[in-house]
């Protein structure tokens, strides 16, 4: 009888091994671009986001979630490394300033030697898909990359298996040009085959293709960083001043009285969209993105992947332009809460509660450790991570281990320790605020709480010294 039992025994071992492998969750990370803190339909009846609202109802909505920088590039660098911008080297934007003044590059060759083209994240940094590769994850990214345009910086050189999207901070939604230079890529090569098609639906198309081609034998990491609702990176004042959105979605909002008004652009008089039109365009772009998100979530359901897929949605920084960041103060590019506190939704069926709202102090630095823990993949040794696995906070309501957070953008700085926040933006304001009572940062308590103010300043100084002592990284550090 003993020999006959061996095949069954080994079959059981193989079966159990297969179950362990397949038990690793799929991971879907969706990022919007410059979306306001208040711009979810469940909070704001003036905007339509039924699919994001549904995601919130099926998971946890985080109300105290921060990013590491108040604008695109450094925020995304931290998201994929789990490290402060000052530690991973991307602590400012990889972009050119000349187009802000209306300059159009006459040739691609001129653009190709500018910083926006040659700058990128230090290749010594280990990104999230490289970590997940240890768990046999297949990774795809469809949308905005923003961490370097040279081949050594592109997604397929940084752990992703497939890439379709643009490589810098913004494009025209239809021409896919950035100030006259076409910037859409498939893997390592530029592609103009989709010129004229709306970027949001293209990124949706590629995400759906990735899911369709997924075999189910190995887990996946699908990263969908939309550029919506970021304003268009076009030189035409009528486009540059607003967010491009399909007419279908504009029609879902009340008509505006006046489309165009006399204004200024590049220091000259120009016809620009009215404030009312810009607000409609912004909301239409968000609603269009929401529809694409809905179809991606539907595809998970159709493949029977909902229960074994961890989904996270967030914005890369605070809203700007026509975004609504209320009740927070400020906007993108500022250290006020409206620049760094963002909407974040998390869904993982049967793992975290449904319909819960959490005010736990959490940040985008927690994303890499959380995904690695969920995938049962150890973080690389010898690398300092600035976050932690936040799943116990979401699953069991445990207190967040995070007690402090620090920000630095050139001469603008901020620190949060517990409920207290210190802001210092020379020429633009600052002060000490009790966020537990004053999330809108309206009441400066600097003179009333000098000892607390000093504690935050001291904390920031220690953090700054720690960052300066970290092993330097390109492209900004002088070493």
For the residues 115-125, what does the mean pLDDT come to? 97
pLDDT of residue 112: 92
| Residue scoring higher pLDDT (27 or 10) | 27
- How does the average pLDDT of the chain come out, rounded? 94
pLDDT in tens, 431-464: 999 999 999 999 999 999 999 999 999 999 999 9
- The model's confidence at residue 8, banded by pLDDT at 50, 70 and 90, is very low
Entry pTM = 0.95
What pLDDT score was predicted for residue 27?
Answer: 98
pLDDT tens per residue, range 55-109: 999 999 999 999 999 999 999 999 999 999 999 999 999 999 888 888 999 888 9
pLDDT at 216: 83
Mean pLDDT within 181-208:
97
The 3-state secondary structure of the chain reads CHHHHHHHHHHHHHHHHHHHHHHCCEEEEEEECCCCCCCCCCCCCCCCCHHHHHHHHCCEEECCEECCCCCHHHHHHHHHHCCCHHHHCCCCCCCCCHHHHCCCCCCHHHHCCCHHHHCECCCCCCCHHHHHHHHCCEEEEEEECCCECCHHHCHHHCCCCEEEEECCCCCCCCCCEECCEECEEECCEECCCCCCCCHHHHHHHHHHHHHHHCCCCCCEEEEEECCCCCCCCCCCHHHHCCCCCCHHHHCCCCCCCCCEEEEEECCEEEEEECHHHHHHHHHHHHHHHHHHHHHHHHHHHHCCCHHHEEEEEEECCCCCCCCCCCCCCCCCCCCCHHHHECCEEEECCCCCCCCEEECCCEEHHHHHHHHHHHCCCCCCCCCCCCCCCCHHHHHHCCCCCCCEEEEEECCEEEEEECCEEEEEECCCEEEEEECCCCCCCCCCCCCCCHHHHHHHHHHHHHHHHHHHHCCCCCCCCCC
């Amino acid at each position: 009888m003993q020999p006959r039992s061996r095949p069954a025994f080994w079959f059981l071992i193989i079966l159990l091994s297969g179950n362990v492998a397949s038990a690793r969750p799929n991971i879907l990370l969706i990022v919007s671009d410059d979306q306001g803190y208040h711009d979810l339909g469940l909070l704001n009846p003036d905007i339509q986001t039924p699919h994001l609202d549904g995601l919130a109802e099926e998971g946890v909505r985080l109300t105290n979630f921060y990013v590491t920088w108040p604008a695109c590039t450094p925020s995304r660098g931290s998201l994929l490394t789990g490290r402060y911008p000052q530690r991973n080297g991307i602590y400012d934007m990889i972009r050119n300033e000349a187009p802000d003044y209306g300059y159009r590059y006459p040739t691609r060759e001129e653009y190709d030697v500018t910083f926006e083209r040659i700058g990128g994240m230090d290749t010594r940094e280990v990104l999230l898909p490289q970590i997940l590769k240890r768990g046999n994850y297949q990774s795809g990214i469809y949308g905005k990359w923003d961490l370097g345009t040279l081949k050594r910086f592109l997604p397929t050189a940084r752990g992703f298996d497939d890439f379709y999207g643009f490589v810098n901070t913004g494009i025209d939604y239809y021409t896919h040009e950035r100030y006259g230079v076409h910037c859409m890529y498939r893997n390592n090569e530029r592609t103009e085959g989709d010129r004229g098609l709306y970027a949001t639906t293209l990124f949706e198309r590629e995400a759906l293709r990735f899911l369709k081609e997924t075999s189910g034998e190995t887990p996946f990491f699908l990263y969908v960083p939309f550029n919506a609702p970021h304003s268009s990176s076009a030189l035409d004042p009528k486009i540059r001043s607003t967010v491009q959105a399909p007419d279908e979605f504009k029609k879902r909002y009340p008509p505006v009285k006046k489309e165009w008004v006399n204004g200024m652009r590049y220091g000259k008089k120009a016809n620009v969209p009215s404030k009312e039109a810009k607000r409609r365009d912004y909301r239409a772009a968000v609603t269009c993105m929401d529809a694409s998100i809905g179809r991606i979530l539907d595809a998970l359901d159709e493949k029977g992947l909902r229960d074994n897929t961890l989904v996270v949605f967030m914005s890369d920084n605070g809203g700007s332009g026509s975004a609504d960041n209320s009740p927070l103060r400020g906007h993108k590019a500022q250290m006020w809460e409206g620049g760094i506190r963002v909407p974040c939704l998390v869904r993982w069926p049967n793992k975290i509660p449904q319909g819960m709202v959490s005010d736990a102090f959490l940040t985008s630095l927690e994303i890499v450790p959380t995904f690695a823990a969920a995938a049962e993949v150890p973080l690389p040794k010898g690398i300092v991570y600035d976050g932690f696995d936040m799943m116990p906070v979401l699953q069991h309501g445990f207190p967040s281990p995070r007690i402090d957070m620090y920000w630095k953008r050139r001469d603008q700085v901020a620190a949060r320790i517990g409920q207290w926040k210190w802001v210092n933006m020379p020429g633009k304001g600052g002060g000490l605020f009790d966020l537990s009572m004053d999330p809108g940062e309206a009441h400066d308590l600097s003179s009333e709480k000098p000892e607390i103010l000093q504690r935050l300043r001291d904390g920031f100084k220690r953090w700054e010294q720690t960052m300066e002592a970290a092993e330097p990284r390109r492209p900004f550090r002088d070493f």
